[in-house]
Structure 1
Amino acid sequence: MPQTIKISPNTTLLKSNLTLPISTSWFDPSFWQSQHALTGTGNGRGAVWFINSEFGQFVIRRYRRGGFIAKFNKSRFLFVDCKKTRPWLELNLLEKMNELSLPVPKPIGGLFTVQFGFYQASLLTETIPNARDLFDIIKENQSKDVDWSNIGRVIKQFHNNGIYHSDLNCHNIMIDNQQKTWVIDFDKCEQRSPNKDWMQSNINRLKRSIDKESNKHANFYVSEEQWQTFLEGYRG
């Protein structure tokens, strides 16, 4: 369970890693830039910054909204309780998954600021070293080098532990240089009772994401044989 530290009446710091001297500045990309530790940026479910510091390699992610509501509200969420904020829930789930030895990033901390009943928030996790997301690997015509059976086994491992990923797609699966499969981005995810319906829904979502990218990119291709190999790995 993340440690909660009240910084001010409006700002709360969450700590999962109690050994690091985490402060609010750790969630500010300009702070790391001033330390010459900011190594890159990206996009996912939020704005993303990659940090390579004396304390380790981290990823900062600011929570953002998606869909239609993002047109007029990009990053504010209704505040009800600390333990219902996006960063607290995600850190708590990451801690549980690390205890289960699931291949996920190690949680570092979170930060949220409340104003007028709404909060904005950021998350800090360790970087997965020497890893690329499945999307990039496939797009670079390397899908034949992917151990699809292993990906299936890893997803099954999450499901066996009741881990529901609300947005399982080819961007949230990563493969490192040892061919180890990792899963990232657990915003709005949860641990629930194993059930064939939500498990199959997860698999269907992953397949839709692959088909979607295949329709968008001419050099993005996953064969039916490769997908069947994934399913065989999943079914064990």
Structure 2
Amino acid sequence: MIFYHFNADLVPNSQLETVKSLLNCKNFVNSDRLLGSSKGRGITWFLNTQTELDVNVVLRHYYRGGLFGKLVKDQYFFNGLENTRAFQEFSLLAKLCEWNLPVPRPIALKVKKTCCWYQADIMLEKIEGAQDLSKFLQTNSLTDEQYQQIGKLIRQLHDHQVHHSDLNIHNILFVPTSGQFFLIDFDKCGTSTGDNWKSENLARLLRSFIKEQGRLNIQFNEQNWQWLLNGYHQQYHITNT
């Protein structure tokens, strides 16, 4: 059994079958749509859908990590469509978009159920001209104001009680032409109560900066982090709930 879910604001009825066909495709190496790809646990595809959807897209299959992932690569226990990783990530991104936070818009998802297990794929908006922060900082630096901007963005996320469980500089995108920052990869993320987790979330990001400072020699120092914290600790009033 296969379930599909679409963002009606981005996928017109006339393009439902086109999007389904893309979700069902396993390999785009020889496709005219291929704009690029990246490798992690699996391959993330960047596809040209400008004509059909007015945006290009990112297509990602869900894979397990860790030791268990070596045994069971991409199957998960099915406990209702709303509890699948794809549906939860799609729903969270839709909510973040409602709050006007800079994240990619969710476009579509596919969940394939076999007995009590499922496999899933998600399609997201491609942020044009963006680089992940670790790549950008290898050859460029950010201004104090830009670090403040990152801090403000994370504070907005936290003010909505959204816990990005993998907050690192690879999941922060920067568009040099516009100066905008975006947050990506909200798989296994969600809302959390209280405030105790927020300082550890920031500490995780700092560890990421320090790790890539040593591994990739990115342009980053303690003063940069203080400017980020300066932006974070400014107060915000949430108007969209």
CA-atom RMSD in angstroms: 1.9
Distance 2:75 2:123 in 1: 18
User: Which runs of 5 or more structure 1 residues have no equivalent in the other structure?
Assistant: 1-9
CA-to-aligned-CA distance 1:6-55 (integer Å, 9 cap, x gap): xxxx1111112354323421214568666611111113465310011222
Higher strand share: 1
Task: Specify which of 12, 17, 22 is matched with residue 3 of structure 2.
Answer: 12
Letter in 2 for 1:149: Q
Verify: 1:26 aligned to 2:22, yes or no: yes
Q: Does the Cα contact within 8 Å between 1:103 and 1:181 map onto a contact in 2?
A: yes
CA-to-aligned-CA distance 1:154-207 (integer Å, 9 cap, x gap): 1101111111101011110011121111101110111233x3211112111111
- State the secondary structure of the residue aligned to 1:181: strand
Question: Quick one: percent identity of the two aligned structures?
Answer: 33
Instruction: Give runs of aligned pairs for residues 1-236 of structure 1, distance below 5 A.
Output: 10-17=1-8, 19-20=11-12, 21-23=15-17, 24-29=20-25, 36-44=32-40, 46-53=42-49, 54-55=51-52, 56-140=55-139, 142-145=140-143, 147-176=146-175, 177-193=177-193, 195-217=194-216, 219-236=217-234
Distance 1:117 1:144 in 2: 48
Letter in 2 for 1:22: L
- State the secondary structure of the residue aligned to 1:22: helix
Which residue is equivalent to 2:238? none
- State the secondary structure of the residue aligned to 2:197: helix
Letter in 1 for 2:226: Q
- State the secondary structure of the residue aligned to 1:48: strand
- State the secondary structure of the residue aligned to 1:17: coil
* TM-score normalised by structure 1 residue count: 0.88
Q: Does the Cα contact within 8 Å between 1:113 and 1:119 map onto a contact in 2?
A: yes
How many angstroms does 1:117 deviate by? 1.6
* TM-score normalised by structure 2 residue count: 0.86
Distance 2:121 2:214 in 1: 33
Distance 2:173 2:69 in 1: 27
How many angstroms does 1:75 deviate by? 1.1
In structure 2, the CA distance between the partners of 1:172 and 1:50, relative to structure 1 (3 Å rule), is same
